[in-house]
Chain A
Amino acid sequence: MPSLSRMPDGSFVARFDRNVYRLSAVKKAAYKYGDIFHVLIEEGDSFVVVSLGPTSSNTDPEEAVGRFCNEVLDQELREEIAAETNGIRDLLLAQAFSKTSLIDSELETSDYEQASPSK
């Protein structure tokens, strides 16, 4: 879990270990919570430090901070999926709209009857 502190002015400061969380994951969570927190992100050597000041529409800031931390966790998982699949996603998009097979060009040009083992 990230370390979390409550400040005297009612805001919260969450520190996310950079070995565990990517900056991009924190940013995406901050976007999603921008309606209930004023968010300030600072990047340190070991931690990403996030200041969360509740907006007037935030009725339960403590509960919302917990949800924010879980959202960062989900966003980190999404970043992990994206890191592994972005290449294949680009290939799929290219394949979907290409007139030739980009995935297996040999299949595209080979002769069906020659390729068939029964012939």
Chain B
Amino acid sequence: MSEGSDLRHSPFRPISEFLPQRGHFSLLPFRFIKLDDSRYVLTNFAGEYIVTDRDNLVRFVKKDLAPDSDLYAQLKSRHFLNDSAHSVALDLLATKYRTKQRPLSEFTGLHMFVPTLRCNSSCSYCQVSRKSSTAEGFDMTQAVAERGIEFMFSSPSTVLKLEFQGGEPLLNLDIVRYIVERTRELCRTSGRIVNIIICSNLALLSDEILDFCDRHDVSFSTSLDGPRELHNLNRPSRDFDSYERTCAGIGRIRERLGVERVSALMTTTRHSLSQPTEIVDEYLRQGLASIFLRPINPYGFASSPGTFASYSTAEWLEFYKKALDYIIGLNLRGIRIREEYTALLLRRMLTPFGTGFVDLQSPAGIGISAVVFNHDGNVYPSDESRMLAEMGDPRFCIGNLLSDSYKDMMLSDILIDTISQTMTECVPGCVDCGFQPYCGADPIRHYRLQGDIVGYKPTSEFCQRHMGLFRHIISILENQDTASGVLMNWLQ
């Protein structure tokens, strides 16, 4: 090109010539919420987030943002604004949204069987109102089990999960065996994949049971609340040392079936609050590389004074933060251990993939993500609704395996009516919340605590807890230091 020629149409113009004109963009749908005193979290339609201050947020909404600023570039690349005539950004955004909602099309994956309501532990916080180990009339029959299996294989989900809950499932070993063997038989003929897990205190574990679980590819989930004294205080038994049996069981499963075949979770009581590091250390002592820090649920015996109401959401969050800090510190020293609920929230926040976790779905995951077959054949759309029924309120029961069809139960008024009121995209308090893409609806919990399935969010314990969790996790990620690196590793 000769000197002095017209540069107006040249591809070699300065980069500023290619920038859109100031204010020439349209907003794409997004929400925002305060992160702390000075920062806001902005989340787009597909759940990607950006943190900025209020001045920049206002500048963005008022279209007064410099096109060559870093924030403009971030907002554009993460689909908060569109300054192009092309529809590519919209197509991408719609695709990301569809990917996040994919678990909906899978429908029910988790099927929980309650082989018995009898239990050999006397946990102070038992949420299912267990019966004594010798009580009669609380065991599942073969007829109920058979109908439950039929129901499970009626689900369109490509991968099914069969979970034995209790009571203590191993107290009705015959029916556990029947369900497992029958399921594996149907897997062979139908080609379906079913992951099977027994939730047990492991007190009754035997070589015979381990052999059976090895043959049929069955895993275990157990409760370990912390060091011996704390565990036995929370989960006492008249007949045996609860801590001793659980730890021995974890060891036997790891040795016989492999380290991946047993996982544990803890329930926080007021006695746990002062021991976050001791609890994590106990998990390491047992060779467990993951821990699930879980607050107490307001059902069954846990709803009595002195358990659920014995600490506030703020106190639990303080406990969680201390434990998480300690876990991150361990990872930085090369000791691998992961907090599972944080990892689950991170997947929701940082990946385009949805998670099937029942409590964090919109619409609510009840029935859609999980169903429970009680020992008496009654079917509930979540474990919490079963717990509520055991407390005398069977409102959410969707039918009985012996008298109702799959279709009748999954299309029952109580299930459809409840689910239709739980789209957080449009319920008060959630519709504009910046954390909406990461959160979900828990209608049973809100009904239990506030008498309303939607709930009043400003006083909702569920809302306060999750707001606290999201704010804490985003604050760590925003520091972009070694701690955020540990959290990013948990996505792998």
Contact = CB atoms under 8 A, between A and B. Distances in A.
Interface in B62-114: 87, 90-91, 93-95, 97-98, 101
Given A103-B90, A103-B91, A89 B29 contact: yes
Contact of B91 (A33, A78, A86, A101): A101
B103 to A, nearest CB: 14
Contact of A78 (B32, B90, B98, B458): B32
A26 to B, nearest CB: 14
Interface residues of B, number: 28
Interface string A4-48: 000000000000000000000000100111110000000000000
Contacts, number: 66
Contacts of A74: 32, 34
Given A85-B29, A103-B87, A103-B91, A92 B97 contact: yes
Interface in B14-67: 26-32, 34, 45, 57-58, 61
B429 interface: yes
A85 B97 contact: no
Interface residues of A, number: 26
B432 interface: yes
Given A95-B91, A97-B98, A78 B27 contact: no
Nearest to A83: B27
A81 B98 contact: no
B101 A34 contact: no
B87 A104 contact: yes
B429 A91 contact: no
A88 B57 CA distance: 20
A80 B61 CA distance: 8
A32 B458 contact: yes
Contacts of A77: 32, 57-58, 61
How would you classify the secondary structure of chain A's contact residues: helix, strand, loop or mixed?
helix
B428 interface: yes
Nearest to A103: B87
A91 B90 contact: yes
Contact of B61 (A81, A91, A95): A81
Contacts of B97: 92-93, 96
Interface string B352-369: 000000000000000000
B94 A81 contact: no
Nearest to B100: A96
A17 B28 CA distance: 28
A86 B425 CA distance: 12
Contacts of A84: 26-27
B492 interface: no
Given A84-B27, A103-B90, A96 B428 contact: no
Most-contacted residue by chain B among A85, A86, A92, A101 (CB, 10 A): A92
B178 interface: no
A91 B91 CA distance: 10
Given A103-B90, A103-B94, A78 B459 contact: no
A85 B27 contact: yes
B29 A78 contact: no
A100 to B, nearest CB: 12
A75 interface: yes
B341 interface: no
Given A28-B432, A31-B429, A75-B432, A89 B87 contact: no
B90 A88 contact: yes
B27 A31 contact: no
Interface in A49-91: 74-75, 77-78, 80-81, 84-86, 88-89, 91
A78 B90 CA distance: 21
B29 A92 contact: yes
B27 A35 contact: no
Nearest to B104: A97
Contacts of B458: 31-35
Contact of B30 (A81, A91, A96): A81
A92 B429 contact: no
A88 B29 contact: yes
A92 B89 CA distance: 11
16 contacts: A32-B429, A34-B456, A35-B456, A77-B57, A78-B432, A81-B29, A85-B28, A85-B30, A89-B45, A91-B90, A92-B90, A95-B94, A96-B94, A97-B101, A103-B90, A104-B91
Interface of B: 26-32, 34, 45, 57-58, 61, 87, 90-91, 93-95, 97-98, 101, 428-429, 432, 456-459
Given A34-B458, A88-B90, 6 more contacts: A74-B34, A78-B32, A80-B61, A81-B27, A92-B90, A101-B91
Q: Which 10 A-B pairs have the closest CB atoms?
A: A95-B94, A89-B29, A85-B29, A96-B98, A96-B94, A35-B458, A96-B97, A103-B87, A104-B87, A35-B459
